[in-house]
């Protein structure tokens, strides 16, 4: 008798758990999307709303910036244009009240020679559910080194063997 009751209880709870997981993933994806839009618009007020007081960012240059220093970069007088970019390979993992969102950012940048160069970053955001809503507590951005053309040819020929 206990086994059927346990199975019934688990079958009733499991769908809610999956639904909560999907809802959390959607909420975190939207949080990061809003963060990126506010960052591109140099909207420090919105950024401040989206991040926790404990927020820390590791830039592609390896610099660590805590909450206030991070927000200090996003004033109107420091505004620069962001290059058009695309996000792909997004993966969101939720662990209770903590979530990790990892993705690739691809963009082109003009070089000093005037030629545009394709670039990529891997970005990771850590969010935490605080008082019922998601806030970002950390981010890290790592530049992906471009593969030299000769290495791409060597790599392709070695895969064909």
Q: Answer whether residue 158 is part of any domain.
A: no
pLDDT band, residue 25 (cuts 50/70/90): very high
Q: Answer whether residue 154 is part of any domain.
A: no
Task: Cite the DSSP H helix spans in 41-160.
Answer: 44-50, 67-72, 149-160
Q: Answer whether residue 113 is part of any domain.
A: yes
| Coil, helix or strand at residue 139 | strand
Beta strand 64-66 with 85-95 is: unpaired
CATH number at residue 88: 3.10.450.50
Q: How many CA atoms lie less than 13 Å away from 154 in the CB half-sphere?
A: 5
Mean pLDDT of the chain: 83
Distance CA 70, CA 59 (A): 10
pLDDT of 144 above 70:
yes
> Looking at the 3D structure of the chain, how many domains does it have?
1
Q: Answer whether residue 119 is part of any domain.
A: yes
Distance CA 30, CA 18 (A): 18
Q: Answer whether residue 156 is part of any domain.
A: no
Q: Answer whether residue 77 is part of any domain.
A: yes
**Residue 130 domain boundaries:** 2-148
Q: Answer whether residue 53 is part of any domain.
A: yes
Q: Answer whether residue 155 is part of any domain.
A: no
Our measurement of the distance from residue 98's CA atom to the centroid of its chain's CA atoms, rounded to an integer in Å, reads 14
Share of the chain above pLDDT 90, in %: 56
């Amino acid at each position: 008798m206990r086994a059927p009751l346990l199975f019934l209880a688990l079958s009733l709870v499991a769908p809610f758990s999956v639904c909560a997981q999907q809802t959390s993933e959607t909420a975190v994806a939207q949080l990061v999307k809003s963060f990126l839009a506010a960052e591109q618009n140099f909207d420090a007020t919105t950024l401040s709303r989206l991040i926790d007081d404990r927020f820390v960012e590791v830039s592609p240059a390896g610099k660590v910036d805590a909450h206030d220093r991070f927000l200090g970069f996003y004033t109107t007088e420091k505004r620069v244009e962001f290059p058009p970019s695309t996000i792909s390979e997004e993966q969101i993992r939720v662990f209770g009240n903590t979530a990790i969102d990892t993705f690739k950012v691809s963009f082109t940048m003009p070089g000093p020679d005037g030629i545009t160069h394709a670039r990529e970053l891997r970005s990771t955001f850590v969010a935490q559910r605080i008082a019922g809503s998601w806030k970002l507590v950390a981010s890290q951005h790592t530049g992906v080194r471009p593969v030299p053309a000769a290495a791409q040819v060597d790599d392709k020929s070695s895969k064909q063997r």
